[in-house]
Structure 1
Amino acid sequence: MLIELKIENFAIIKNLTIEWGSGLNILTGETGSGKSIIIDALGMVLGGRSNKDLIKTGAEYAYVEAVFSFYNEDLSKFLSENGFEIGELIVLSRQINRNKPSITRINGRVATQSVMTYISSKLVDVYAQEENQYLMSPKNQMDLIDDFCTIEHKKKQENLLNLFEEIKKYEEKKASLENFESSREREIDLLTYQIKEIEDANLTPYDDEDLENDFKKFSNSSLIRENLEATLNLLRGDYEVSAVEDGIDKAVSFFSNVKKFEPDLDEIYKELENIRFNISSVYKEIESYLENMDIDQEKFMYLEARIDTVNSLKKKYGYNIEEINKFKSEAELRLKELKNFEENLNNISQKIDELYKESSNLAQEISKDRKTVSKWLEENVEKEISKLNINNARFKINIYEKELSSTGIDRIEYMISTNIGEDFKPLSKIASGGEMSRIMLGFKSIIASKDNIPTVIFDEIDSGISGMTANIVGKKIKELSNDRQVIVISHLPQIVSKANSHYKIYKEINKNKTRTYVKKLKNSERVGEIARLIGSEEITDLTLKAAKEMIEGVEND
């Protein structure tokens, strides 16, 4: 339940703290004193809309904090999974700043608006006068029925939604194919040409690097011969024995005279002999290469044409042979799809038909669930509103079949007859403001018993009622508060007299500034406030007596 509400710099409230009690909490006060502002502040911290205009004049921020005492296993799990501390209390806070973004916190940690809205929906159910319009919407009427259905029903709804998402995907694919038919032949011609061009090239791994290496070699053959011949001239020149070989021979001869006196030089001597042999061998190998070197002009022309072909394919289809072949495989697959256009179109159409059939069967099950719950809801709503002095009222839910959609095949309309002999008419066209408030209270009673929401708030639920009806509504609210906390803004003494905790909201003007205050009334003070609500401009002994009797009447019930 809601334990404490702190409000700072919100509208005409400078600083206000309310410590709430269990059972029925009622707020009273003169018109304009700030009662609804308190509910607005609570609505903001629970995830409602924020507006910088709500910041008190002269202040830089508005701050609201709500402290709840409530344990719910699912909610605790949700908090833990989202990284919030879990304790005996849940503290929700929100600060809106004049020149900075607003900040939302749960147990001291910054939270998103969506997380705050989800958590608050498990803690509080707020009813305001404008919520009467909620029941007028066919969509909301259906949602209310779905909320009373089983978990299995909700899974069916989710499955139906998923099926329609899949239908949409296939229908878009089908439309794309049908729109594409005009350009299909052009794409077939292009793909056929591209595949043939790659096939005609008869590419092999050789065409990647080896082809380019051979082409470079052939295109530079003259330069190769020229440099090899220059190397031979350096090694031997025009003589049989080159100056290089002659010099090495002499060095070998000198070392042979020395090594017999210095054995340590034997290794160097052997290296000189190897050098002499290697120079001769290199010479012979170069000479042999030059003799066998054949500049095949025809092969060079082939290589030149081949590398032009391969480079052209690389520019069009991929930077290497592997990528070109990958492009070819994808093009062949796409060509097959295009040539099998009719078959693909038929397959997609068949898939759509199957999905619609599955959706239709599921929608029938969902409709059956709704009809079952509707009968139960009809009985319970009639029972609740009859308790609220809408005598002889009959309530029924019409379920019409409509075209299959992601929500099913049902169109819902709430119907009511408030007098004997009157035909059923849509709820939106027959109920008065006072009747709508009581009907909504009846729904809230049923919803609260189902969802086990620990705190229910009514902002002027007593609009449009008086006298005996007000007393009946008060008793219903009191009954509702037996197993949950209820907070009510009311101006009717018949309802206010039933409070467990009574708060008076008042404002004072000091130095041209208006401030709102709250006071929890003692029993003696409650008598005076209820006497004021009875209607006299001046509180008299008679109104005081009536107020006291009202309170005592509740205590004796």
Structure 2
Amino acid sequence: MLLELNIENFAIIENMNIEFEGGLNVITGETGSGKSIIIDGLGMLLGDRASKDVINTGKDFCHIEGIFSSNDENLFNLLKGMGLEISDPIIISKDIKTKGPAITRINSKAVTAQSLNKIRPYLIDIFAQHESMDLMRNESQKRLLDSFGDKSHRENLIKLKSLVEEINLLKSDYEKNNRDSQNKNREIDLLNYQIDEIEKAELTDYDEENLEEDFLKEDNKTNTISSLARALEILKSSYSDFNVEDGIDKAIGEISDVIKFDGELKVYEEELEDIKYRLKDLTGELESYNNSLEIDGERLGFLRDRLNLVNSLKSKYGKNLNEINLFLENSQQRLDFLVNSEKYLINLKKEIDEKESLAQKISEKISENRKKFAESLTEKLNEEIKELNIKNAAFRIDFKKKDLSFDGFDHVEFMISSNLGQAFAPLAKIASGGEMSRIMLAFKSIIASKDNIPTLIFDEIDAGISGKTAQIVGNKIKRLAKDRQIIVISHLPQIVALSDCHFIIEKEVVDNKTRSKIKKLSIDEKVVELAKLIAGDNIGGATLDAAKEMIGVNKNVTD
């Protein structure tokens, strides 16, 4: 159950701590005092969309924290599977900031909205007025009906959803390829040309790594021969009465003359001698290499043509050899498909038909189960609405067949007859606001008993009711609170009197700013507040006595 709720900087709530109890908790207060804000904050904490607009004016963040107690092994296994710490109590917090995303944590570890949505059903169920509107939609009615299904039913729904997704993908593939096959002859001709052009080139690593280098070498061979000849002339011939080898000899002679005065010069003399011999060898090799060079016009033409071919293929099919080969592979696969497309489409259609047949069988089983659930739900709901004083009303669920979709071929419609002799009509067209609240309470009662939800929250469940009906609704909520925690926002004395724990929420103005505060009432304070709900601010002894009597009488209501 929900042990504690802490809210900071949320709308008109500056700092609020609420310690809930087991049984029936009731929150009262004037319109606009912040009652529904508490429920909104709790909803955001547990996965509803977080809006930065809720941050208190002048603040840059709001913080919501809920402390829950649970001994549900299924919940603990779910938390464990998410890598979360297993502990009791479970602490969930949400921080919403003006800058940056909202962050939710469970036991101090950040979690995604998807994880939170999986955990929420094990902790709490919130009923607000918008859920009555949601119940009027056919898809919501179908989801509610499916929630009464067993494990096998849920597994069939998952299988069907996955199967219909596969069928849709296959149909899309079929339609695309069927369109493609209509223009296949033109595409086959183009693919054959492209494949032939690439294969005839017989590309190798040489074309990628060495071809351009060899072409440049052959294309510039005349310049190379001329440059080498001039270099050899410099090395071997006199230039302005100077020869390189003779110059080195003279340098060696000069150093030899002074070695006798400075022995350290010996090493330089030896290095010059080495250079002289190395230069002589190098000159010989350079001369030999130059003599070997021959201008080959035929090879030059071959390299030029080859390079042009490779560059042309790169411009069409890929910037390098790997990309060209990948294009070739894909083109061959596409060509193979087009050549065999008729056979492929036949096989694809066969696969679609087989999966549609299987989907139809699963949908029939789902529909059969839904009708069984509908019988049980109808019987239970009719009992509930009689208990909730919707006189002479009758409920039923109608089925019509529609096109197969992710959740089967059933169109589900909740129908109601409000009076004896009145024809059944869709729930959305017949039920009043008060009736819708009570019908929703009836559904919640049935669902809660089935799923063992530990905490139920009702926001304005008493809309559109009063008098005896309010007493009946209050007694129903009180019975629900025997086995679980109930939190109710209400303004009806008949419901408030039944509470095990009563909170009042009020507005106050501090420093020209409206703030909301909450207080847990003592039994005496509860009597006064109940009297105000009965008679307004002008309460007297008779009203106080009436309030005491209501609390005393209703405390004994357990059945």
Distance 1:203 1:9 in 2: 70
Aligned sequence identity (%): 49
Residue matched to 2:30: 30
Distance 2:207 2:16 in 1: 84
Residue matched to 1:406: 406
Q: How far does residue 492 in structure 1 lie from its aligned partner after superposition? A: 1.4
Residue matched to 1:256: none
Q: Aligned pair 1:396/2:390, yes or no?
A: no
SS in 2 for 1:386: helix
1:11-39 deviations in Å (ceiling 9; x for gaps) = 33332221111001111223333322222
TM-score between both structures, scaled by the size of structure 1: 0.80
Residue matched to 1:166: 166
Residue matched to 1:74: 74
Q: Residues 302 and 151 from structure 1, CA distance in 2 versus in 1: closer, same or farther, beyond 3 angstroms?
A: same
Q: How far does residue 421 in structure 1 lie from its aligned partner after superposition? A: 1.4
Q: Residues 306 and 522 from structure 1, CA distance in 2 versus in 1: closer, same or farther, beyond 3 angstroms?
A: closer
Q: Aligned pair 1:484/2:484, yes or no?
A: yes
Residue matched to 2:196: 196
Maintained 8 Å contact 2:314/2:324: yes
Q: How far does residue 218 in structure 1 lie from its aligned partner after superposition? A: 8.7
Q: Aligned pair 1:515/2:523, yes or no?
A: no
1:66-85 deviations in Å (ceiling 9; x for gaps) = 11111322322333343433
Q: How far does residue 439 in structure 1 lie from its aligned partner after superposition? A: 0.5
Count of residues in Structure 1 that have an aligned counterpart in Structure 2: 524
Maintained 8 Å contact 1:8/1:63: yes
Residue matched to 2:457: 457
Maintained 8 Å contact 1:5/1:67: yes
Distance 1:202 1:396 in 2: 76
Distance 1:200 1:510 in 2: 88
Residue identity matched to 2:408: G
Q: Residues 323 and 533 from structure 1, CA distance in 2 versus in 1: closer, same or farther, beyond 3 angstroms?
A: closer
Residue matched to 2:255: none
Maintained 8 Å contact 1:399/1:412: yes
Distance 2:516 2:222 in 1: 103
Distance 1:127 1:158 in 2: 26
What RMSD, in angstroms, separates the aligned Cα atoms of the two structures?
Answer: 4.1
Aligned 1:527-542 pairs, distance under 5 A = 527-535=527-535, 537-542=537-542
Residue matched to 1:271: none
Residue matched to 2:135: 135
Q: How far does residue 322 in structure 1 lie from its aligned partner after superposition? A: 8.3
Q: Residues 341 and 546 from structure 1, CA distance in 2 versus in 1: closer, same or farther, beyond 3 angstroms?
A: same
Q: How far does residue 51 in structure 1 lie from its aligned partner after superposition? A: 3.6
Q: How far does residue 375 in structure 1 lie from its aligned partner after superposition? A: 0.9
Q: How far does residue 89 in structure 1 lie from its aligned partner after superposition? A: 1.0
Q: How far does residue 182 in structure 1 lie from its aligned partner after superposition? A: 5.4
Aligned 1:279-428 pairs, distance under 5 A = 328-428=328-428
Maintained 8 Å contact 1:23/1:482: yes
Residue matched to 2:248: none
Q: Aligned pair 1:89/2:89, yes or no?
A: yes
Maintained 8 Å contact 1:536/1:543: no
Query: Which is further off, 127-136 or 335-344?
Result: 335-344
Residue identity matched to 1:173: D
Q: Aligned pair 1:154/2:181, yes or no?
A: no
Distance 1:522 1:296 in 2: 111
Residue identity matched to 1:423: A
Maintained 8 Å contact 2:188/2:338: yes
Distance 1:531 1:76 in 2: 44
Distance 1:51 1:198 in 2: 58
Residue matched to 1:19: 19
Q: How far does residue 544 in structure 1 lie from its aligned partner after superposition? A: 1.9
1:300-327 deviations in Å (ceiling 9; x for gaps) = 8778766766675566557888876665
1:187-229 deviations in Å (ceiling 9; x for gaps) = 2112222333455557789988899999899989999999999
Residue matched to 1:276: none
Distance 1:318 1:31 in 2: 71
Residue identity matched to 2:153: H
Residue matched to 1:185: 185
Maintained 8 Å contact 1:134/1:140: yes
Distance 2:507 2:211 in 1: 95
Gaps of 5+ in 2: 230-280
Q: Residues 323 and 110 from structure 1, CA distance in 2 versus in 1: closer, same or farther, beyond 3 angstroms?
A: closer
Q: Residues 524 and 195 from structure 1, CA distance in 2 versus in 1: closer, same or farther, beyond 3 angstroms?
A: closer
Residue matched to 1:438: 438
Q: Residues 112 and 326 from structure 1, CA distance in 2 versus in 1: closer, same or farther, beyond 3 angstroms?
A: closer
Distance 2:295 2:50 in 1: 87
Gaps of 5+ in 1: 230-278
Maintained 8 Å contact 2:181/2:338: no
Q: Residues 302 and 111 from structure 1, CA distance in 2 versus in 1: closer, same or farther, beyond 3 angstroms?
A: closer
